Amino acid sequence: MIVMKSSATEEQVDHVIDRIRSVGATAHPSRGEEVTVIGAIGDREHVARLGLEGAPGVDKVVPILKPYKLASTQLRGGERSVFDIGGAKIGGEHFALIAGPCTVESREQVLDTADVCLSAGASMFRGGAYKPRTSPYSFQGLGEAGLRLLGEAKDRTGLPIVTELMDVRDLEPVLEVADVIQVGARNMQNYTLLTELGRAGRPVLLKRGLSSTLEELLMAAEYVLKEGNEHVLLCERGIRTFETAYRFTLDLMAVPVLKEMTHLPVVVDPSHAAGRRDLVEPLSLAAAAVGADGIIVETHPDPEQAVCDGPQALVASEFAAYAAKVEQAAMLAGKLPLRESAPAVA
């Protein structure tokens, strides 16, 4: 839909019509008293390539069709996607509590935390072996040694593993242990990484960039989906705003709006948004109440000793009480009890 300026000449209108036709689309002008609007019907990408925003006499170009296709709600006729990931279910009526330490530090820390998560009803276990850090002088993760510890936790608890990949060259070792591969907010538009994950076929947890619109998030998901990988979990983790009283602003309105735009499950990460333990529980309750399909949260046996992001980790000994409250909030929003979505444990 091309809106002409009220000062546009007849030649300018005709030129726009000609250009629309030049890419095989049809042009439908409506001449109003004040302005002329031209509908362009045809391939969205072809019309976009015309770059009509800059053409003489053009006021603005309003895209009518959504640029995302495989992620759109229409694809499934309005039905929501439900994924079974190593026995854990997420989407639709299923709510997944994904928990674990920010960073894999030691065998004891990982296994103790995994036990706590399992007994509290968590359905997946998270932990970072490769850590994106703002400073090159910060700890960057245990790497493959960390992955091996996550593998042990999985063997012990049966919980599927969620872990982050930053470098496509580490894909192979990550695939050996990960049931879900996380893409961090800073890499949301790392198209190289997204395309490789699309090809790898393993479920992806895609975090929204700090200043990415919901449409951009879905376009990033589209990079994965386009390669044939249907399993993308979207994750709201806080956006950047003018407010300095907290690290990021958790955008919970994104949850119901995403659920209208896409059939993919939507998860919330309250830990990174807040950066402070005391905010994690209220934000988790709010995320569950607003309709999220899951929460990904950090917990640590002794947060003061955590190598990374200790201030935002829930204390493991308090985790079961937390999980019980989150479950109630999720049920208020129409979800099943946690045990209906967690993997069956032998």
Closer to a second copy at the Cβ: 54 or 155?
54
Using CA atoms of 56, 59, 65, 69 in order, give the dihedral in degrees to the nearest 10: 70
Measured between alpha carbons, how far is 264 from 48 in angstroms, rounded to an integer? 26
Closer to a second copy at the Cβ: 82 or 331?
331
Residues 112-151 binding a second copy (CB under 8 A) are 132-139
Residue 269, helix vs strand vs coil: coil
Residues 194-223 binding a second copy (CB under 8 A) are 195, 209-211, 213-216, 219, 222-223
- Residue 54 interacts with a second copy (CB under 8 A): yes or no: yes
Closer to a second copy at the Cβ: 85 or 235?
235
Which of 10, 5, 99 lies closest to 61, judged by CA?
5
Residues in the chain: 346
Segments in 186-238 forming alpha helices (H): 191-200, 214-225
Residues 284-313 binding a second copy (CB under 8 A) are 285-291, 303-304, 306-312
Site for a second copy (CB under 8 A): which residue of 53, 79, 108, 340? Answer: 53
Contact range with a second copy by CB under 8 A, out of 81-89, 117-125, 152-160, 238-246: 238-246
Closer to a second copy at the Cβ: 85 or 120?
120
Contact range with a second copy by CB under 8 A, out of 91-99, 119-127, 147-155, 242-250: 242-250
Residues 157-176 binding a second copy (CB under 8 A) are 166-169
- Retrieve residue 76's tokens: 């499934």
Cα–chain-centroid distance for residue 329? 21
**Cβ at position 90, least distance to a second copy in Å:** 18
Measured between alpha carbons, how far is 30 from 153 in angstroms, rounded to an integer? 64
Contact range with a second copy by CB under 8 A, out of 58-66, 106-114, 115-123, 149-157: 58-66
Which of 146, 131, 140 lies closest to 187, judged by CA?
131
Backbone dihedral angles phi then psi of residue 183, each to the nearest 5 degrees: -110, 120
Which of 129, 123, 136, 74 lies closest to 105, judged by CA?
129
- Residue 75 interacts with a second copy (CB under 8 A): yes or no: no
- Burial letters 76-107, b for 16+ CB under 10 A, else e: eeeebbebebebbbbbbebbbbbbbbbbbbee
Closer to a second copy at the Cβ: 157 or 182?
182
Please provide the distance, in angstroms rounded to a whole number, between the alpha carbons at the two ends of the chain: 58
Using CA atoms of 203, 163, 324, 337 in order, give the dihedral in degrees to the nearest 10: 10
**Cβ at position 227, least distance to a second copy in Å:** 9
Closer to a second copy at the Cβ: 32 or 172?
32
**Cβ at position 32, least distance to a second copy in Å:** 6
Contact range with a second copy by CB under 8 A, out of 60-68, 79-87, 153-161, 199-207: 60-68
Backbone dihedral angles phi then psi of residue 50, each to the nearest 5 degrees: -65, -25
The answer to whether residues 91 and 81 touch, using CB atoms and an 8 Å cutoff, is: yes
Contact range with a second copy by CB under 8 A, out of 70-78, 90-98, 109-117, 142-150: 70-78
Contact range with a second copy by CB under 8 A, out of 87-95, 104-112, 156-164, 254-262: 254-262
